Chain A
Amino acid sequence: MRLSRAEYKDIVRSTEQLRPTRQCMKMLKDRFPNHSQSTLLSIFSLEYQKRTKRTISRHHAADVIEGHYQREVLPKKHDRKYLNEAKARPTAPVLLEMANEVDLSPALMARLVLDRFLQDMKGEMLSKPVLNSMLKDPSLIPDQVLAKNIYQCTINDCCYGPLVDCIKHAIGEEHEVLLRDKLKERNLSFLDENKLRTMGYDKTPDIILEVPIAVEGHIVHWIESKASFGDDHSHRTYLNEQFWSYWNRFGPGLVIYWYGFIGELDCQRDRGILLKDCFPTDIVTLCHATHQQSPESTEGGQ
């Protein structure tokens, strides 16, 4: 879906107060019934990430972490009242509530607290992989209550956390498959990323067409699939790190933002970077062109 900047800003404004929860997503969807859920979620996710980037530092400060941790862990250990309460309500989402309270992503809160917990247990910083594996699979966490809390955080966060990463990855893959299917459907031959890597390419878009095509009158040599919304920030980053590099090596190409993009960003068409929100329908191939031309030219002759 191609949004004008005004529409996009409108949506962004409504996300400002939202938390990364299902309820909030529902609210957003109700508010903008004409936009697809995926687009809204993607926009929200990008916005929420920006918000988090702005604020995360204050959650990372040691004393703040200590505060979270104390509230979470110490009562269990030392405060009989809290422990009792926790025991009385062992399924209560204490950590999740806390995260909402301080306006931090639940998954990030879980990571902070788990990290602190493990430091206490082992007395030293643990390696990231261990931490990540525990976040992915909370059953590995020695403390059951904490494990449960962490799990609750993970599944209730639609922007961060291993679950979301997994979903995003799957969606990305899915769209790449979708793209390849579409290309095969159109009988366009191409090299995909894996093939390109084995050939030693230093930068690899998702697809390189072995024979270029024309989309809406623009030549396309490569296609990059992005299962997200294209906003200013992400597009700029992609341009610098990926798209221009592709252009530098393979010439003009096409980027598909499956969840839409800000229409105004599609301003590099003449320079060789074309944006679409779906697989293009207006494709002209070389054989097409010759087929189409011959009847035209005879008409012209008559």
Chain B
Amino acid sequence: MAAILDSVLSQRIDPNKVVEWLKTVQERDSLPFTDRGITVQKHEFVSFLLNFLREQSSPALAHHGTPAKTPNRPRPAAQTGGFSDRRASRSARSGTASRSSSRVQLFSPSSSASPGAECDAAGQSGCLSGVSNFSSPSFSTSWSPASRPPGSERRHSQRVCLGDFMASPPDTQPSPFQSQKSRKKSMAVGAQWRGGRGNQHTDEMGFGDTGTKRPGREGGGHGKSREQLSPPSGGSLNFNNLEDFPPVGSSPISPLTSKPSRRINPTPVSAERPRSKPKTCFTSTPFTKPSSPQMGAEVLEGSMRVGSPLSLQEERELLKREKSKRAQQAASPCLSSLEPCTPPKTGGLGGAKVTPELQPLCPERSKVAYAPELDLLAELYCACISENLVPNIFLELFFVMQLLTSLSPDSNDAEVQDSFSAINSDVLERCYLKQVHNCVYFAVAVLENQFELVAHLDKGTLRLLAENERVASFSPTLRDLLVQAQDKSSAELSPSVSTFIHSVPFQPDTDNRSNFGNDRAFHTFKKQRDVFYEVLREWEDFHNEPGWSFEASLGGRIRGMMNQLTSAGIHSHFARLFLKQLVQMCKGPQMTGSPGEPPDADLLGMLGADSLGRLKRLEERLIQPHGIVGPCPPPSFPGHQEFFRDFIQTSSCCQLNQHLQDSLCQQLLQLDEVSILSPSASIKEEDEDRDMEQQDEKQRFSSVLLLARLLAKFLGFISFLPYQTSERPSREIQDTSAALRSKSAPVLDVCAVLNDSVRRRRTILTVPWVVEFLSMMDFVGPLLPCYRTALGTLLLLYRRMQLKRSADVCFLNNLLLVSVLGWLFHIPAIPEDFFFTAEFRAAVTVEDGNPGLAGLVRRSHIFFSLFFCSCSFISLKCFAGLF
């Protein structure tokens, strides 16, 4: 696979041929390379390409800007394209080696690394994933666990980059560097969606680092690393700068640190001193300790920083930054509009020295190197996306947006030289995506190519993109398209509806005395109904209060209820009430977030406000817990669903659970049978009527779909509840458990449901809810034959559902399926190698020659709002943090 890329990039093979190969649906999944005698599997190539891009861009996205390699990880001699060579060298390079560091290592392990343990986890990543044992060696760690970034880490990164963004554009020449550095760092943290192994990885590949110096690891202890004198090393970071590196989870930056003392000293500042000290080195509050383990490493890195002698410079830096901030505030409105018209000259560096403060940190099209190669890469990459060869198209989109917003060190000449000099070496070793110019170029190329997909993003994201200066300066055409798409987009995120609870009405048919065995049961249920609502109301009132605990406050009462129910034998009545109430409260579109806050309206509203204020508020939002979600958040129970989940957990009543399961199964299968009308051409009434009818039908379909997803999630939750473990059990335990569990019938025959749905072309309804059900699986679940087969079927569906081939009306249908499936493939419970393993292809036979595989051909049942309701993870929230 490396050979292919190698050949394409060095133009020994016609790229079109490869693209064609990627596009063929035929069984011929492998591409023979006669000239080298290598045969390459398509999925192997894809995972190689994806990892290659990640690797390539890691410096731009990396936070370890330290321009040096660890001595004990010598850069390997130039590689030939051979797979095994490279692989070996990679593993050698990564000191921690591990089975898992194959070429695909960028996608590799340790999604399970907890945020705090990141450094460690990174080191251990190889052994950490029980997954890797389980899979074929060469792909043991093949794809991105990234999807599940540990929450705080992500927040951390988002916060940082947003803050930087606010300050960065008009920064002076020297300070941009600083902010680039920090930004770079933050991006890397953000970029660790590909896995918790960020540190290891960036260390090990210290990519394109110009061999300057590595910040002294010997600096040691956190405490003393503060005020040390900085050697004028390029790109060293100051980790003491709380603004650039806010402590994870800490409360807002203390005013003391963010407002250091300043002295106005009009010493001319030369651009020669770019690696300036960050402003907060010189503060009255000593930096006491890194607030997170993650920062520990950073502080180490920063230990070469030295203090006081430089503090004057720092102050000057500070002053400059302050000034430039003001300049930006004044100038910002016109900035973006000006740029496209006045592309900066290549020789702009000299100018920058003269007027450093007006030099925005701006990727320039003219500085793009390797443009043809980047085009090729983009083409291949887009082919993979278009052909659903990537596990999750939105994850790729997210990556592209990261590239678009990346901040790599502005190429100083030496580095440019260095990277250009690499031309002679292996084409795969060149630094295609190291420079921010290249990243943006590549990102814009991909966005252009995938415009159809991009255009279906929500309005807020489109707006962010359209207003992005980089997009505008690299491709005014794309900008214009985005603006148009934004106007057309109906994909507003509707704020979730009222928070008013509605109760389940008393129905004499099912609830009066005649439905109970005796008076006592009747009266017990009368009381339990009231207790249930009392508990619900109390939860509503208090669950957001700090320190409130469901178990502590309601546990006793709930278990008391269960005892009453058990002694009266009326679980079925309560189960009905419980489910009806669940549906009542949660069937509507639920955005993630608690019911109290109308989540997205707020976020969207901010986009209208003045730029600085809105960024401020955006930032505030983003640092709130759950304020930001990536494109692949783990399954969750937003809003009121949380109550029902906690209730089930707390009551831990097996009778109730059984009744709930029975009822959920029945309702789901009924819903799955609901007729989906295809409005045929037979309707000849006036347009208005037809419109109305279509609207009604869409409404009906949407409510069925949302309801089925809700029920399926809870069915999955209850069914897999007994097997949930917080960590992936060892391989042996998994096997034993799988063997044991495969003997008893699963609660729902998912395979049958799926196959039936495929046959009847109803996947648009069935797949989304099946995905919800499966997303609740425990770690062993995917190993059970029934679910394994179901996953295989879904994977096959996914691969066949290329958006580009969808008729217009079906685009959203397919987009929905592709996104929910892509999301499912990133659920923690799903083995990480799942997507790139080929074993399913034989296992599942879906009738070919069934072009309507993706469901209903003739019309779209999915409309924007439904799409965003169903995939609330793909929204402004997941992208906004990047801008």
Task: Please report A residues at the B interface, Cβ cutoff 8 Å.
Answer: 199-203, 244-245, 247-251, 270-272
By the criterion CB–CB under 8 Å, are A244 and B534 in contact? yes
By the criterion CB–CB under 8 Å, are B506 and A249 in contact? yes
Question: Using a CB-CB cutoff of 8 Å, which residues 524-538 of chain B contact chain A?
Answer: 525-526, 529-530, 532-534, 537
- How far is it, in angstroms, between the C-alpha of A250 and the C-alpha of B523 when the chains are bound? 18
Name the contact of A202 in the complex, choosing from B501, B511, B532 (C-beta under 8 A).
Answer: B511
By the criterion CB–CB under 8 Å, are A201 and B508 in contact? yes
By CB atoms of chain B within 10 A, which of A199, A247, A248 has the most? A248
By the criterion CB–CB under 8 Å, are A245 and B508 in contact? no
Q: Which single residue of chain B is at the shortest CB-CB distance from A221?
A: B505
Query: In the assembled complex, how far is the CB of residue B491 from the closest CB belonging to chain A, in whole angstroms?
Result: 26
By the criterion CB–CB under 8 Å, are A272 and B506 in contact? no
Task: Please report B residues at the A interface, Cβ cutoff 8 Å.
Answer: 500-503, 505-506, 508, 511-514, 522-523, 525-526, 529-530, 532-534, 537
Query: In the assembled complex, how far is the CB of residue B740 from the closest CB belonging to chain A, in whole angstroms?
Result: 43
Query: In the assembled complex, how far is the CB of residue A142 from the closest CB belonging to chain B, in whole angstroms?
Result: 42
Query: In the assembled complex, how far is the CB of residue A237 from the closest CB belonging to chain B, in whole angstroms?
Result: 14
Which residues of B sit under 8 angstroms from A247, Cβ to Cβ? Answer: 503, 533
By the criterion CB–CB under 8 Å, are B529 and A201 in contact? no
20 residue pairs from A and B, CB less than 8 Å apart: A199-B508, A200-B511, A201-B506, A201-B508, A202-B511, A202-B512, A202-B523, A202-B526, A244-B530, A244-B534, A247-B503, A247-B533, A248-B529, A248-B530, A248-B532, A249-B529, A251-B503, A271-B500, A271-B501, A271-B537
- How far is it, in angstroms, between the C-alpha of A199 and the C-alpha of B505 when the chains are bound? 14
- How far is it, in angstroms, between the C-alpha of A272 and the C-alpha of B502 when the chains are bound? 9
- How far is it, in angstroms, between the C-alpha of A201 and the C-alpha of B503 when the chains are bound? 16
- How far is it, in angstroms, between the C-alpha of A274 and the C-alpha of B522 when the chains are bound? 29
By the criterion CB–CB under 8 Å, are B530 and A250 in contact? no
- How far is it, in angstroms, between the C-alpha of A197 and the C-alpha of B572 when the chains are bound? 24
Name the contact of A200 in the complex, choosing from B503, B513, B529, B530 (C-beta under 8 A).
Answer: B513
By the criterion CB–CB under 8 Å, are A199 and B500 in contact? no
Query: In the assembled complex, how far is the CB of residue A244 from the closest CB belonging to chain B, in whole angstroms?
Result: 7
- How far is it, in angstroms, between the C-alpha of A115 and the C-alpha of B501 when the chains are bound? 51
Which residues of B sit under 8 angstroms from A245, Cβ to Cβ? Answer: 529-530
By the criterion CB–CB under 8 Å, are A201 and B533 in contact? no
Query: In the assembled complex, how far is the CB of residue B518 from the closest CB belonging to chain A, in whole angstroms?
Result: 14
- How far is it, in angstroms, between the C-alpha of A200 and the C-alpha of B508 when the chains are bound? 6
By the criterion CB–CB under 8 Å, are A200 and B526 in contact? no
Which residues of A sit under 8 angstroms from B506, Cβ to Cβ? Answer: 201-203, 249-250
By the criterion CB–CB under 8 Å, are A248 and B511 in contact? no
Q: Which single residue of chain A is at the shortest CB-CB distance from B534?
A: A244
Which 3 residue pairs of A and B lie closest in terms of their CB atoms, listed nearest first?
A200-B512, A249-B506, A248-B533
Besides A200-B514, A247-B503, 18 more A-B contacts (Cβ < 8 Å) are A199-B508, A200-B508, A200-B511, A202-B512, A202-B522, A202-B526, A244-B533, A244-B534, A244-B537, A245-B530, A248-B529, A248-B533, A249-B506, A250-B503, A250-B506, A251-B503, A271-B500, A271-B537
- How far is it, in angstroms, between the C-alpha of A200 and the C-alpha of B525 when the chains are bound? 14
Query: In the assembled complex, how far is the CB of residue B9 from the closest CB belonging to chain A, in whole angstroms?
Result: 62
Given A244-B530, A248-B533, A199:B512 Cβ within 8 A: yes
Which residues of B sit under 8 angstroms from A251, Cβ to Cβ? Answer: 502-503, 505
Query: In the assembled complex, how far is the CB of residue A13 from the closest CB belonging to chain B, in whole angstroms?
Result: 32
Which residues of A sit under 8 angstroms from B523, Cβ to Cβ? Answer: 202
Which residues of A sit under 8 angstroms from B525, Cβ to Cβ? Answer: 202
Query: In the assembled complex, how far is the CB of residue A198 from the closest CB belonging to chain B, in whole angstroms?
Result: 10
- How far is it, in angstroms, between the C-alpha of A247 and the C-alpha of B504 when the chains are bound? 9
Which residues of B sit under 8 angstroms from A203, Cβ to Cβ? Answer: 506, 526
- How far is it, in angstroms, between the C-alpha of A202 and the C-alpha of B525 when the chains are bound? 10
Query: In the assembled complex, how far is the CB of residue B581 from the closest CB belonging to chain A, in whole angstroms?
Result: 10
Q: Which single residue of chain B is at the shortest CB-CB distance from A247?
A: B503
By the criterion CB–CB under 8 Å, are B503 and A248 in contact? yes
